[in-house]
Amino acid sequence: MELVVTLSEFNNIHALADYGVSIMAGSDFSSRFSYTREELRKIVSTAKQRGIKVYVSVDAFINENDLTFLYEYIEDLKIMDVDGIYFNDLAVYNAAQSFGIENKLIYDGGPMITNSLDVSAYLSLGIDSVTLAREMTLDEDTNILRDHAGKLDMQIFGHLRMSTSKRMFMSNYFKYIGADYNPKNRDNLTIVEEKRDYSLPIKETEYGTNIYTDYILECSEEIPYFNRLLKRGIMDDAFIDFDVTLDAVRSYVRIRDNNAQFIAKALRYKYPEVNFDSGYFFTKTNIIKENEKD
């Protein structure tokens, strides 16, 4: 399993390269990253100098009138010779295909890929890999992984994205209450539902608003289940102190390479104040009310 760590700050690239992990960044059409094209070029060249792979996230939904710009961007990514492109909108596939680089694509439809047959359907497009949804149990994950060993990616660390909206929830709200407050591109905003305690990170960018889980998915203990089956494990450092992320990278690398299962709980012991969780690995989310059953 290759580890891919999101690069929220350019300066973190060398610390990550020291562990030999790959990185993920983004520029245009990315709600996750806001690097300029030139900054992205610098990231790619630095990664190549350090001998690590670099992946680019193109996670936005593409407007019709942005298609020309998208094609130009994908061609530029081909010229940069990035190692892979995570995409969400099928227009990216169309563009990559026109430049003959669809084999560098990794489909990431958020919660949309939850079965083996859909993985097959997307792989049949000639793309490199498919990212599994996180709203599945470990049993479901491993069943799909066995069907498609070495052809799947999955987030294995970080806050999970729960919602993707084109709406500017925060800007609109502050305008509504008449507050002079600019919430754009802030990493320190959270929302808490009035009857629940979950503190959910929320981020508004030019592409809209994303909301994330209160907890950080942490699966040191589960790595052995998918270490040999998963192509890439994604570690997302959004809203997380880089020290914590780096410790997680160190642990994951040791567990992956040395089967050091004895350190599986070390991260949780070291950061007892951090809300680590195993996500949906052991929690099914198919509850319906009794009176809603057939």
| φ, ψ dihedrals at 131, nearest 5° | -95, 125
| φ, ψ dihedrals at 227, nearest 5° | -55, -45
16 binding another protein? (CB under 8 A)? no
Options 21-29, 216-224, 262-270, 276-284: segment touching another protein (CB under 8 A): 276-284
| φ, ψ dihedrals at 251, nearest 5° | -60, -45
- Sort 51 into a burial class: Cβ within 10 Å, 0-12 / 13-18 / 19+: exposed
Q: Which of 34, 46, 114, 278 binds another protein (CB under 8 A)?
A: 114
Query: Whose Cβ is closer to another protein: residue 162's or residue 253's?
Result: 162
What is the DSSP code (8-state) at residue 29?
Answer: B
116-175 residues in contact with another protein (CB under 8 A) are 116-118, 120-122, 125, 133, 135-136, 140, 143-144, 160, 162-173, 175
| φ, ψ dihedrals at 128, nearest 5° | -75, -40
Dist. CA 255–CA 99, nearest whole Å: 38
Strand partners of residue 36: none
63-102 residues in contact with another protein (CB under 8 A) are 63-67, 70, 89-91, 93-95
Min separation Cβ 105 and another protein, Å = 12
- Please give the helix or strand (H or E) that residue 5 lies within, else none: strand 2-6
180 binding another protein? (CB under 8 A)? no
Min separation Cβ 254 and another protein, Å = 30
DSSP 148-164: TTTSEEEEEEEPPEEEE
247 binding another protein? (CB under 8 A)? no
275 binding another protein? (CB under 8 A)? no
204-233 residues in contact with another protein (CB under 8 A) are 211, 213-214
273 binding another protein? (CB under 8 A)? no
Min separation Cβ 221 and another protein, Å = 21
Query: Whose Cβ is closer to another protein: residue 35's or residue 215's?
Result: 215
Query: Whose Cβ is closer to another protein: residue 96's or residue 246's?
Result: 96
61 binding another protein? (CB under 8 A)? yes
196 binding another protein? (CB under 8 A)? yes
Min separation Cβ 86 and another protein, Å = 15
Query: Whose Cβ is closer to another protein: residue 13's or residue 96's?
Result: 96
CA distances from 185 to 7, 189, 209, 231, 247 (A): 16, 10, 10, 31, 26
Min separation Cβ 3 and another protein, Å = 24
Options 188-196, 217-225, 235-243, 250-258: segment touching another protein (CB under 8 A): 188-196
Q: Are 54 and 82 in contact (CB under 8 A)?
A: yes
β-pairing, 54-58 vs 84-87, is parallel
Dist. CA 164–CA 150, nearest whole Å: 28
Q: Which of 199, 258, 259, 261 binds another protein (CB under 8 A)?
A: 199
Dist. CA 185–CA 203, nearest whole Å: 6
